[in-house]
Amino acid sequence: MRSSHRLRLPSKYFNILIAVLTFVLCLWLTPVVAQALTKAPVILDGQELFKISDSGQYSAQERTKSINSQLKNAIQTSEFIQVKIEKRNQLPIILLNGRYLLTVTEQDTVPGSTIDEQASIWMQQIEEALQEARLERTRTYLQKTTFVAVAILLITAGFTWLLGWIKHHSFRVASQRLTPTSNAISNSEPLKVLELFFKLVLASMRIGLWISAILYITNLFPFTRQWSYQISNILITSFTSPILTLGKNPYSLSELIILIGLLFGLVIFAGTLTNFLRSRILSFTGINRGAQEAIIILFKYGLIFIGTLVLLQIWGLDISSLTILASALSVGIGFGLQDIAKNFGSGLVLVFERPIQVGDFVEVGEYTGTVERIGGRSTEIRTLDHVSIIVPNSRFLEKEVINWSHRNPISRLHLPVGVAYSSDPQAVQAALLDAASKHPNVLQTPSPLVLFKEFGNNTLNFELLVWTAEPNKQFLLKSDLYYNIYEALQQRQIEIPFPQLDLHLRSGTLEFTPEMQLALIQMSERLSNNKQRIDPINPSQNQR
Mean pLDDT of 108-112: 80
Give yes or no for a contact between 130 and 74, defined as CB atoms under 8 angstroms apart.
Answer: yes
Confidence of residue 35 (pLDDT cuts 50, 70, 90): very low
pLDDT for 543 equals 44
pLDDT for 11 equals 42
SS3 442: coil
Residue 1 has pLDDT above 60, yes or no: no
Report how far residue 33's alpha carbon sits from residue 37's, in angstroms, rounded to the nearest whole number.
Answer: 9
430 burial (CB, 10 Å; 0-12 / 13-18 / 19+) is middle
Distance of CA 393 to the CA centre of its chain: 19
pLDDT for 30 equals 39
Mean pLDDT of 318-326: 63
pLDDT for 15 equals 44
pLDDT for 326 equals 65
pLDDT for 401 equals 86
pLDDT for 124 equals 87
Per-residue model confidence as pLDDT tens digits over 47-90: 788 888 887 777 888 888 888 888 888 887 777 888 888 888 78
pLDDT for 460 equals 92
Per-residue model confidence as pLDDT tens digits over 518-536: 888 888 887 777 666 555 5
Per-residue model confidence as pLDDT tens digits over 329-388: 666 666 656 677 777 777 777 777 778 888 888 988 888 888 888 877 788 888 888 888
Confidence of residue 481 (pLDDT cuts 50, 70, 90): very high
Give Cβ neighbours of residue 32 (< 8 Å, ≥ 6 apart). 237, 238, 241, 242, 243
pLDDT for 331 equals 66
Residue 542 has pLDDT above 50, yes or no: no
pLDDT for 290 equals 61
pLDDT for 33 equals 36
Task: Indicate the average pLDDT of the chain.
Answer: 78
pLDDT for 533 equals 58
Mean pLDDT of 197-206: 84
Which string of b and e fits 441-460 if b means at least 16 CB within 10 Å? ebbeeeebebeeeeeeeebb
* Range of lowest pLDDT (32-46, 122-136, 415-429): 32-46
pLDDT for 114 equals 85
Per-residue model confidence as pLDDT tens digits over 213-232: 888 888 888 888 778 777 77
pLDDT for 13 equals 43
pLDDT for 482 equals 94
pLDDT for 155 equals 93
Per-residue model confidence as pLDDT tens digits over 380-436: 888 888 888 888 888 888 888 888 887 778 888 999 999 999 899 999 999 999 999
Q: What radius of gyration, in Å, describes the C-alpha atoms of the chain?
A: 45
454 — phi, psi (to 5°)? -170, 170
Residue 491 has pLDDT above 60, yes or no: yes
* Range of lowest pLDDT (15-24, 149-158, 450-459): 15-24
Confidence of residue 27 (pLDDT cuts 50, 70, 90): very low
Per-residue model confidence as pLDDT tens digits over 233-290: 777 777 777 777 766 677 777 777 888 888 888 888 888 888 888 777 877 776 666 6
**Cα distance between the two ends of the chain:** 117
Report how far residue 463's alpha carbon sits from residue 277's, in angstroms, rounded to the nearest whole number.
Answer: 48
The long-range contacts involving 305-308, CB below 8 angstroms and separated by at least 24 positions, are 307/266, 307/269, 307/270, 308/263, 308/266
